[in-house]
Structure 1
Amino acid sequence: MEATAERLGHVPAAVAKLATSPHLLDGFLTLSAAFGQTTLEPLARETVVMTVAVRNECHVCVAMHTGKLRTLGAGRELIAALRERRPLPDERLEGVRQFTLEVLRTAGAVGDGELRAFLAHGFTPQNALEVVMGIGTYTMSTLANRLVRA
């Protein structure tokens, strides 16, 4: 929590509630920091996060990551489309969104055609695994936040 307070200038209520399980909070913060260092560009990472947050109906997560998208310079239409589960105006980011949804839908058993479609947007097999990392990290966060009524 100290690292979060130092980085953000405060401890968000959601983080404080997750601290009920220091192991969960530490795991999430560690994984989140690692996900932030992946080779996916920042808007692609946030596309994964928002896709998971919207799908899992984690309202606090959607609000927090809407702010993050704004700081990254995402336009209103991109943010609205993510929040409303609509196709994204950016074809490459839509490829990330669709791949994320397919990984979730198939529990990772993505078909060859869907993987090729993701790679056709200029992504790599490493990026595909990084999407899985983001899904795992933010599934944990969204489910925990919903459980503690964050």
Structure 2
Amino acid sequence: MSQFQIHSILTANASAKPLLEGSLKKYGFVSNLHGGLAEAAAALKAYIELTALFDQTSFCPTERQVILLAISAENHCTYCVAAHSMIAKHMAKSDPAIIEALRNGKPLPDSQLDALAGFTRAVVKNLGLVCGQTLEKFIAAGYSRAQVLEVLLGVAFKTLSNYTNHIINTPLDVAFQAEAWEEPAQCGNRQCA
């Protein structure tokens, strides 16, 4: 059971209310993640602003979802894997085979996107200590040094939500239920400290 409240526009503090109103206007509902982050308006504002900045990167919508799904699966975030699976399918119009591969930690059927996912996973798994062959493979796949840093932006933004979801035990929104995810058995379930 969580010690945190999932705020609505009515229960949020004065600083968070306009941010949640913006979420409602943009998405048509206030996600439980936004409602949870509303406990600290600065955290919610940071998440919203990082989302907007990540959307301005040079990656296309499918590449952005590859990055976000790879991070979320590597961080074992059931909430974000479900949410980004839905976004990838319905908003980014990504190939379902790519989404399923990401959800299951398998190689992607597109070699360039597989290099992107592999590099992103390595950044998360190795806490940013990525060099040598992994970095060379990413560049050889056609990505730039600037995109290395854009992946890091994605990691920063998605780690905020992944860790928030772990700590506050964010319930999955009805809007994402069709894409509910349990991590593959080979990953092993992590326990809280």
TM-score (norm 1): 0.95
Deviation, structure 1 residue 112 = 2.6
Q: Identify the match of residue 8 of structure 1 among 27, 32, 36.
A: 27
C-alpha distance in 1, partners of 2:129/2:78? 28
Q: Identify the match of residue 105 of structure 1 among 125, 149, 156.
A: 125
More helix by share: 1
User: Does the aligned pair in 1 maintain the 2:33–2:161 contact within 8 Å?
Assistant: no
User: Does the aligned pair in 2 maintain the 1:50–1:65 contact within 8 Å?
Assistant: yes
Greater alpha carbon shift after TM alignment, 106-115 vs 15-24: 106-115
Q: Identify the match of residue 20 of structure 1 among 25, 29, 39.
A: 39
Residues 1-150 of structure 1 correspond to what in structure 2 (within 5 A)? 1-71=20-90, 72-150=92-170
Greater alpha carbon shift after TM alignment, 83-92 vs 96-105: 96-105
- What are the Cα deviations for residues 45-64 of structure 1, in whole angstroms up to 9, with x where unaligned? 11111011111221111111
C-alpha distance in 1, partners of 2:40/2:71? 22
User: Does the aligned pair in 1 maintain the 2:74–2:124 contact within 8 Å?
Assistant: no
For the residue of structure 2 that corresponds to 1:70, the secondary structure is helix
Deviation, structure 1 residue 111 = 1.7
For the residue of structure 2 that corresponds to 1:79, the secondary structure is helix
Deviation, structure 1 residue 13 = 1.8
Residue type matched to 1:93 in 2? L
Unaligned runs of 5+ in 1: none
C-alpha distance in 1, partners of 2:116/2:126? 15
Identity of aligned residues (%): 29
C-alpha distance in 1, partners of 2:135/2:76? 26
Equivalenced residues, count: 150
Higher relative contact order (CA 8 A, sep 6+): 1
C-alpha distance in 2, partners of 1:105/1:82? 15
Match of 2:177 in 1: none
Aligned CA RMSD, in angstroms, stands at: 1.1
C-alpha distance in 2, partners of 1:78/1:50? 10
Query: Larger Cα Rg: Structure 1 or Structure 2?
Result: 2
TM-score (norm 2): 0.74
- What are the Cα deviations for residues 6-40 of structure 1, in whole angstroms up to 9, with x where unaligned? 11011012211111111111101101110011011
Which stretches of structure 1, 4 residues or more, deviate above 6 A after TM superposition?
A: none
Unaligned runs of 5+ in 2: 1-19, 171-193
